[in-house]
Structures are given as structure tokens and as C-alpha cells.
């Protein structure tokens, strides 16, 4: 069975500071990893994905994520946070051979002006 | 290009009533999914479909039924609504096992309250 853990319910960061939102995963096969963002009263929007290749993946809105196979982690990062980055962030994993995607419980990012 | 459209956006039901949530996608995607989102629990998969005429159970299928008679539509039915089904429901679609773009496109959600 595949699973995703987002250990922080909320992350607070000052505007202009770097941010990290943590994610660890467990799958039996090769992982496909995703980050999605959800703004209030909206559906989830895709940010970035890791399938294979470089461990550092760049995505939308200046976000990037680092895949670490040995630590089974896929942390979301951004060098300089914006107030508009405040939202709910979900990590998700899919076992490469299957279509079912498992989502984490979400981390609320609050960027303080 | 509308993407994934869910109707209705809001609904209030009484316990025991039935309803159908409609999801429509115009991207010719093979795969479609229904999730529910509850505070502190993230998104949980209810049912999914890997193609027209197919359906499969997800993590929390009890109390729900689905149908995929047309490729572009995926219907979620509640035969006898219960207060535990109060939630926000999201439909998603994806192009399938395409290595280049296996992520999901989400609708805006349906907020359902069961009294």
C-alpha cells in the first residue's frame, strides 16, 4: 500500500524568507510524486511532479521540490515566500504502475507580511 | 477550454434523500476520480474509472455509487444521504498512464451538507 505523510499541519513564514513544506512517502514500486496547491473554495491545482531524472524539480510560481530516495522525502521549497503563496498544499504519490493517487492530509502555509 | 466542471456547486440534503453529482471533462481524459475532502483528512478516493463503462472502488466507497456511461462524464450518486457524508466533493481527471503528464486536473468542488 502507498502512503504519504505531511508532518506539519501549518507552516508560518515571513514574506521574503525561504519556505519548506515537508513530505515523506511510501510505495512499493517506483514513485511518481506530486505537489498540488489549493486556494480557498477552489479545487486543487498542479504545481510540480517528479517521475524520473534530476532530483530537483522546478514547478509553477517559483516552487521547486527535492526528491530524496534514501529518505523517501519530497519536500516543497521556495527561495522567497510571497503573501500570495498562502494556501493549502498537498503532497501526493502514485505507484508508477497504477492509477490510484494517495494524497497527504495537507499543510496550510501562512506567509506573514 | 472548461477543463473539469462539477455540478452543482452547493447542495443541502435531508437525511435519507438521494442525489447525483455530475462531473464533466472536455479534455478527452481516460481516467476520472471522485474524492471527498474533510478537515484534517486530506483527500480520500471514493471511486474511480479507467475508461468509459468501467468503475472501481477507492478508499471510502460505502454509501456511494458511480457510473461512467460516457467518456466525458462521471456521476457520483448518494442513494440515502447520511450526515457523515457532509463534505466537499472533488472530481478529477487525468490522461492516463502517459509518462509526460500523469497529473490530475480538478474541478472546483461540490459542497454538500446533509442535515
- CB B91, CB B6: distance < 8 Å: yes
Do B103 and A41 make contact, defined as CB atoms within 8 angstroms?
A: no
Rounded to a whole number of angstroms, the distance from the CA of A71 to the nearest CA of chain B is: 23
Residue A70 in contact with partner chain B when CB distance is under 8 A: no
Q: What is the pLDDT of residues B75-103, one digit of tens each?
A: 999 999 999 999 999 999 988 766 555 78
Q: Which residue of A has its CA nearest to B101?
A: A49
Contact call for residues B86 and A38 (beta carbons, < 8 A): no
Give the integer Cα–Cα distance in Å for A49 and A74: 10
Inter-chain residue contact B43 with A99, CB threshold 8 Å: no
Percent pLDDT > 90 in chain B is: 82
**Nearest-CA distance A85 → chain B (Å):** 19
Chain A residues within 8 A of B105 when measuring between CB atoms: 46
Q: What is the pLDDT of residues B36-59, one digit of tens each?
A: 999 888 899 999 998 999 999 998
Query: How do residues A2-54 score in pLDDT, each as one tens digit?
Result: 899 999 999 999 999 999 999 999 988 888 899 999 998 888 999 999 988 88
Q: Which residue has the cell 457523515?
A: B84
Beta-carbon separation of B43 and A103 below 8 A: yes
Q: Are A113 and A17 in contact (CB under 8 A)?
A: no
Q: Given this model, what pLDDT does residue A85 score?
A: 96
CA terminus-to-terminus distance, chain A:
41
Sequence-separated (6 or more) residues with CB below 8 Å from residue A10:
A107, A108, A109, A110
Look at phi and psi of residue A62 and say left if phi exceeds 0, alpha if psi is from -120 to 50, else beta: left
Chain A residue numbers with beta carbons less than 8 Å from the beta carbon of B23 are none
pLDDT digits (tens, 9 = 90+) for A54-103: 899 999 999 999 999 999 999 999 999 999 999 999 999 987 666 678 89
- In this complex, the residue of A43, A102, A105 whose CB is nearest that of residue B90 is A43
B25, B98, B104, B107: which to substitute to probe chain A, counting the most A Cβ within 10 Å? B104
Amino acid at each position: 500500500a502507498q502512503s504519504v505523510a505531511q508532518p506539519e499541519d501549518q507552516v508560518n513564514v515571513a514574506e521574503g524568507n525561504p519556505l519548506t513544506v515537508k513530505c515523506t512517502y511510501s510505495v512499493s514500486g517506483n514513485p511518481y510524486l506530486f505537489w498540488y496547491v489549493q486556494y480557498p473554495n477552489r479545487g486543487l491545482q498542479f504545481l510540480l511532479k517528479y517521475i524520473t531524472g534530476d532530483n530537483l524539480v522546478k514547478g509553477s510560481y517559483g516552487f521547486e521540490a527535492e526528491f530524496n530516495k534514501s529518505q523517501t522525502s519530497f519536500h516543497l521549497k521556495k527561495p522567497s515566500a510571497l503573501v500570495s503563496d498562502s494556501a493549502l498544499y498537498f503532497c501526493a504519490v502514485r505507484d508508477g504502475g497504477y492509477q490510484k493517487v494517495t494524497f497527504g492530509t495537507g499543510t496550510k502555509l501562512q506567509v506573514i507580511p | 477550454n472548461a477543463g473539469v466542471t462539477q455540478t452543482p456547486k452547493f447542495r443541502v440534503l435531508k437525511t435519507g434523500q438521494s442525489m447525483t453529482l455530475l462531473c464533466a471533462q472536455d479534455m478527452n481524459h481516460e481516467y476520472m476520480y471522485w474524492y471527498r475532502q474533510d478537515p484534517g483528512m486530506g483527500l480520500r478516493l471514493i471511486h474511480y474509472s479507467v475508461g468509459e463503462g468501467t468503475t472501481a472502488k477507492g478508499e471510502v466507497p460505502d454509501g456511494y455509487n458511480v457510473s461512467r456511461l460516457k467518456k466525458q462524464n462521471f456521476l457520483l450518486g448518494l442513494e440515502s444521504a447520511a450526515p457523515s457524508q457532509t463534505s466537499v466533493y472533488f472530481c478529477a481527471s487525468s490522461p492516463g498512464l502517459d509518462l509526460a503528464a500523469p497529473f490530475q486536473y480538478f474541478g472546483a468542488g461540490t459542497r454538500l451538507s446533509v442535515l
